[in-house]
Amino acid sequence: MFADVKGHFDSIIKGKASTAINYTVTFPNEGKYDQVRLEVYNDQGKEIPLLSDGIDLETNKSENHITVKGRTIIPQSLKEKTSYLEIHQKVALHEKNQFVTLEQQTPIKIQSDRQNLSVTVEIMKLKKGNFTVDFQVNHGI
């Protein structure tokens, strides 16, 4: 999990048509729009498509954090061909929108407030209805 995000699995409920994975995740307050996404793999390392992911069942807010109880559903027909499932939790961090106008001089650096990521817009061109952007992520590293 990402720093300051804690998660655990509460239960796995196997039904006739599908299997539900219930989990609890705690985010810092600035992560109120963040989401947890699960990636599920079979015993041969192949990703299993999910029927539904990131269903929020309950949200509780406190002074310092937000706790979300969520659910992911796996169709029964897709997981019957495996002896076990490997589940990975991923966090999608929400960032505030940062806008760049065509009139701004390049290069323009757009920096994340919550992680060590940036995009540097080096060139922007609008020519005959086509818009082109040359950019580097994290200085090309």
Predicted local distance difference test score (pLDDT) of residue 1: 45
Task: Provide the CATH topology of domain 6-92.
Answer: Immunoglobulin-like (2.60.40)
For the segment 110-129, what is each residue's pLDDT rounded down to a tens digit?
998 888 889 999 999 999 99
Q: Look at the pTM and tell me if it is higher than 0.85.
A: no
Predicted local distance difference test score (pLDDT) of residue 64: 87
Q: What is the mean pLDDT of the chain?
A: 85
Q: How far apart are CA 15 and CA 19, in angstroms?
A: 6
Q: Which amino acid is at 124?
A: M
For the segment 31-41, what is each residue's pLDDT rounded down to a tens digit?
778 888 888 88
Q: State the number of CA atoms in the 13 A half-sphere of 131 facing the CB.
A: 2
Predicted local distance difference test score (pLDDT) of residue 78: 54
For the segment 69-110, what is each residue's pLDDT rounded down to a tens digit?
999 998 876 555 678 888 888 888 888 888 988 889 999 999
Domain boundaries along the sequence of the chain = 6-92, 108-140
Nearest CA to 78 out of 48, 40, 38 is that of 48
Report yes or no: 41 and 60 within 8 Å, Cβ to Cβ.
no
For the segment 10-33, what is each residue's pLDDT rounded down to a tens digit?
998 888 888 889 999 998 888 778
Query: Confidence band (pLDDT; 50, 70, 90) for 3?
Result: low
DSSP code string of 8-50: EEEEEEE-SSEEEEEEEEEEEGGGTT-EEEEEEE-TTSPEEPP
Q: How far apart are CA 67 and CA 75, in angstroms?
A: 26
Q: Average pLDDT for residues 46-71, to the nearest whole number?
A: 87
Exposure pattern of 49-88 as b/e (b: 16+ CB <10 Å)? ebbebeeeeeeeeeeebbebebbbbbeeebbeeeeeeebe
